Structure 1
């Protein structure tokens, strides 16, 4: 059995690029509303919304993302990583379509809520999926794809806003919000053609399917023994909790920012120094208190944090390699 191509053309990395569309969607959806709110046609069409209403238009996206990330830890563990992502993409397509065809502000808010739900769902499981299919030496590269694509999403959204400003039409604002349905459609369709996470399949006791998926990701598809394809039940749920905290804070900031800018103007930016100090503090905490995980498998990382997984390879049939997994929780 020959390993699949490693590096930039490995199947796990190419799958991570597909999953990175979810990061792109997050960046684009977060960024496109800013230039839209600045368009005169947008303000006129929706009756020049007040600062609190503009804050609601922006922050309802974070509220939807909060709901999506709060639920995906359960849904992705029950139905699988692929189905959870596809489910989120459905709402992304619907939400983008509602926003593009919005006849009044209530439709705009509802569409943005659904798009937020989609993004919260996708970002809550896509990084987990990528990490679970990655080899140890390429996990950093694979998990970084999502963040890189998010940055590209912001970039494209802001330049789309520039293009909208050059297009003098009463419906110019609809173009940018309509585009956001395309990444959701592409990701939702594409993810159905990739293999499920072998670790999730092992978690469900579907070892034959897990073996096949593992071989497809890392080898040429033939049989052989295979190591380390077991995940703890907490991985998806923990990532979901992180996303919930993220979107909770974002919800507060995006709701209050338009009001604060109207009331205190440029002085509102002075407290932003706290964000810089928070990053510095986090860097110090990580450097001092957190163990290094580079070069370690997910199972080895589990063991560092007190979850012991013992994996044994054993042949059960001629020419068929399977894995016997024994796992113990350290009490």
Structure 2
């Protein structure tokens, strides 16, 4: 067990992310593909462009609300119960969409499904970050985006094969399939352990110790690793609660917390302004714009959808060795080059008869998705899940996710009109945003790889009550109150000027 059990928990917890990816791909992979057929638009009386945009926007709106509510429920109910609630809501939303007899019923299902994935989006990454060892935390949290990508790609293939079905089955069957992972997650969550850090936060120490022991059962128990891991987490949480983070408002009143929040929000905004969602949601329209017709649009969408999972696997191979900051920075540089080429080729060959030029335009769309998934796709969730302290992690992550969702909603609503009004010039907006993002990643984003969630506080100038880099560890005199010793050597004290508390820094 041990590491394999931890990996299994991470994979299973991200089943909800598969639902998110699959459901997020509905508009492009199922709804958008079926818009090219007769059954879907005919059944709903040929929805207008505004109503088509509303199908995307209502989903995103529900997701934004779910983000904020998820931040509260993640602390109140715990990570596990919040994921379970989201899975149930996703199931109900899927049933409503599948059985829809009116556009109103369909939209309600979309809103509910969006709310569900808003709940699970941030909480799943937090859960994986809180159970993962530092050396493989990037991989385990990044598994969430791999499942999102696989769900997204699956929706493309199912939507395409669904186009061969007759009548309403062409769109009802693909919509109904999303019920399967929701049911699996609902049942399986009964066996998934709660986050040990949340249990400690709630004072459930025996349960937390048992979970940590199970997560690290592959390590020699004679090394006392489990006890030291438990002590590290408990002492840091106690220190933050008693000295540095006495309420949620510390997120805004404390300089280091404001910096973390700014970085999290910037990362989410940069992700949305790469242009990825615009290309994802409206790619079938873009393919048609360069001369692709009929079912060939659907097959191209399937190929495009595979770029994410392939590139994401590559990203997971280096994320814990190279880190987070540099891949994000160079990914943004790559997107600047790619969007420049996409802009030029769209200007010259969209609507033309030049088959070679049109082929290159499509190729730049494919490479856009590939480059995006080499950096942003996995790393944005990893970075945001690990930079916040335990007391603020759930709600701060929710705020970042909400800002990202709101930014995406804005672009989803504006993009159809923007493409109709200014065409290829719309890409210039994303080109500029990618350049700004690259500069910010190089200049102001700190690296977080290899550190425990508690030690990351040091990066932002906060005090660490207990360090993982020690064989046998001890801490005392935190915030003026004796915390006890286990027997380590104290190598330095640092004063927390914001709170007049003393924290001990300990090394191996």
TM value normalised by structure 1: 0.87
Q: How many angstroms apart in 2 are the aligned matches of 1:196 and 1:281?
A: 39
Other-structure match for 1:225: 227
1:239 is paired with a residue of what secondary structure? helix
Does the C-alpha gap of structure 1 residues 131 and 12 become closer, same or farther in structure 2, counting only changes over 3 Å? same
Q: In the alignment, is residue 293 of structure 1 matched against residue 470 of structure 2?
A: no
Local SS of the residue matching 2:90: helix
C-alpha spacing 1:293/1:68, structure 2 compared with 1 (3 Å): same
Q: Which of 426, 429, 440 is the matching residue for 1:271?
A: 426
What's the counterpart of residue 137 of structure 1?
A: 135
- 1:111-190 equivalences under 5 Å are 111-190=109-188
Q: Identify the residue that residue 15 of structure 1 maps to in structure 2.
A: 9
How far the C-alpha of 1:156 sits from its partner, in A, is 0.6
- Across the aligned residues of Structure 1 and Structure 2, the Cα RMSD in angstroms comes to 2.6
Kindly indicate whether residue 184 of structure 2 is the aligned counterpart of residue 26 of structure 1.
Answer: no
Secondary structure in 2 aligned to 1:166?
A: coil
Contact 2:418 2:426 in 1 (8 A): no
Q: Give the secondary-structure state (helix, strand or coil) at the position aligned to 2:463.
A: strand
1:165 is displaced (CA, Å) by: 0.8
Kept in 1: contact 2:455–2:467 (CA 8 A): no
Q: Write 1 or 2 for the structure with the bigger share of strand.
A: 1
Report the counterpart of residue 31 of structure 2 in structure 1.
Answer: 36
SS where residue 203 of structure 2 aligns? coil
Bigger drift between 182-191 and 58-67 goes to: 182-191
Contact 1:211 1:226 in 2 (8 A): no
Match of residue 397 from structure 2: 239
Q: Which residue of 1 aligns with 2:408?
A: 250
Superposed counterparts of 1:37-56, under 5 Å: 37=32, 38=35, 39-56=37-54
Contiguous gaps of at least 5 residues in structure 2: 238-388, 469-473, 480-495, 499-508
Residue 175 of structure 1: how far off its partner (Å) = 1.1
1:259: Cα distance to partner? Answer: 4.2
Q: 1:303 aligns with which of 422, 433, 458?
A: 458
Distance 1:327 1:12, change over 3 A: farther
Pairing of 1:306-325 with structure 2 (within 5 A): 306-311=461-466
Q: In 2, distance between residues paired with 1:33 and 1:87?
A: 24
Tell me: CA distance 1:291–1:70, structure 2 relative to 1, closer, same or farther (3 Å).
same
Aligned partner of 2:201 among 185, 189, 203: 203
Structure number with greater CO (CA < 8 Å, separation at least 6) is 1
